[in-house]
């Protein structure tokens, strides 16, 4: 089994032409060599800020100038808090993020949340959503340009599997017109996200994708 973070790296560097990764990973790495062409509508959860009950009893985080946060998403975390004028000191962890507050490392974490049961079991409360997360079909950008017919055919198979109508951007001869912008590419604090139907949306950090 290849982890989502590794799948994105393999696709970005051309070791694989296709992959599946959550948009949380795409937001974190912001690879320019990846297009996320289709939301597969699976793996739904959310990326959120959580805090200890002790932290909630202290001053409002919105008034703080500095916060220490444990997370496996340091880049997303820094951008999220920077947009609010807060400097985030990130403690990078690859797992068991919810244990960091219990060990005295910090009072806040940024992690994926589904039911909230893990947070509750560790004395944490979700206080702020950052983004809605789901799995995306990702494609290597050079492969999309140099092998349009083959890549386009596979994309259409995935579209059919998830019930999305064929895109006018693809045909039996490959891609017509210019390729779309990179799937998640920061521009002035916004991201470009494909919905799998040929539409691209600008979303600000801190808002659901």
pLDDT tens, position by position, 70-96: 999 999 999 999 999 999 999 999 999
> Both 140 and 73 in a single domain?
no
> Both 49 and 104 in a single domain?
yes
Q: Report how many domains make up the chain.
A: 2
Please report the beta strands in the chain, taking only residues with DSSP state E, as ranges in sequence order.
18-22, 34-39, 45-52, 66-71, 87-92, 108-113, 124-133, 135-140, 170-171, 174-175, 191-194, 200-203
Is residue 97 a part of any domain in this protein?
yes
Cβ–Cβ under 8 Å, residues 15 and 2:
no
Is residue 209 a part of any domain in this protein?
no
> Both 103 and 29 in a single domain?
no
Could you list the residue range(s) of the whole structural domain that residue 100 is in?
Answer: 45-131
pLDDT in tens, 158-186: 999 988 766 655 544 344 433 443 444 33
How high is the pLDDT of residue 1?
A: 81
> Containing H/E element for 160?
helix 148-161
Least confident segment among 97-106, 126-135, 194-203: 194-203
Is residue 109 a part of any domain in this protein?
yes
**At residue 205, does pLDDT exceed 90?**
no
How high is the pLDDT of residue 64?
A: 76
Is residue 147 a part of any domain in this protein?
yes
> Both 149 and 191 in a single domain?
yes
> Both 112 and 141 in a single domain?
no
Distance CA 30, CA 39 (A): 17
**At residue 26, does pLDDT exceed 60?**
yes
pLDDT in tens, 38-67: 999 999 999 999 999 888 766 567 677 899
| Region 101-106 average pLDDT | 95
More confident residue, 200 or 36: 36
> Both 32 and 49 in a single domain?
no
> Both 146 and 177 in a single domain?
yes
- Which region holds residue 30: left if phi is over 0, alpha if psi is between -120 and 50, else beta? left
Question: pLDDT grade, residue 206 (50/70/90)?
Answer: very low
CATH number, domain of 149, equals 3.40.190.10
* Claim: this prediction has a pTM higher than 0.85: no
| Region 4-32 average pLDDT | 95
> Both 29 and 64 in a single domain?
no
> Both 58 and 119 in a single domain?
yes
> Both 59 and 35 in a single domain?
no
More confident residue, 205 or 7: 7
């Amino acid at each position: 089994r290849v982890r989502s973070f590794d799948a994105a790296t393999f696709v970005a560097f051309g070791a694989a032409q296709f992959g599946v990764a959550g948009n949380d990973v795409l937001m974190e790495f912001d690879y320019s060599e990846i297009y996320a062409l289709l939301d597969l509508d699976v793996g739904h959860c959310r990326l959120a800020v959580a805090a200890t009950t002790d932290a909630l009893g202290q001053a409002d985080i919105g008034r703080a100038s500095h916060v220490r946060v444990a997370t496996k998403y340091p880049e997303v975390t820094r951008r999220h808090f920077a947009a609010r004028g807060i400097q985030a000191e990130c403690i990078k962890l690859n797992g068991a993020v919810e244990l960091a507050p219990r060990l005295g490392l910090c009072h806040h974490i940024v992690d994926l949340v589904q039911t909230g049961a893990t947070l509750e079991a560790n004395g944490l409360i979700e206080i702020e959503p950052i983004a809605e997360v789901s799995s995306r079909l990702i494609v290597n950008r050079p492969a999309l340009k140099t092998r349009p017919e083959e890549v386009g055919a596979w994309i259409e198979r995935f579209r059919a599997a998830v019930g999305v109508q064929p895109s006018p951007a693809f045909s039996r001869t490959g891609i017509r017109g210019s390729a779309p912008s990179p799937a998640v590419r920061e521009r002035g604090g916004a991201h470009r996200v494909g919905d799998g139907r040929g539409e691209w949306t600008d979303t600000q950090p801190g808002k659901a994708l």
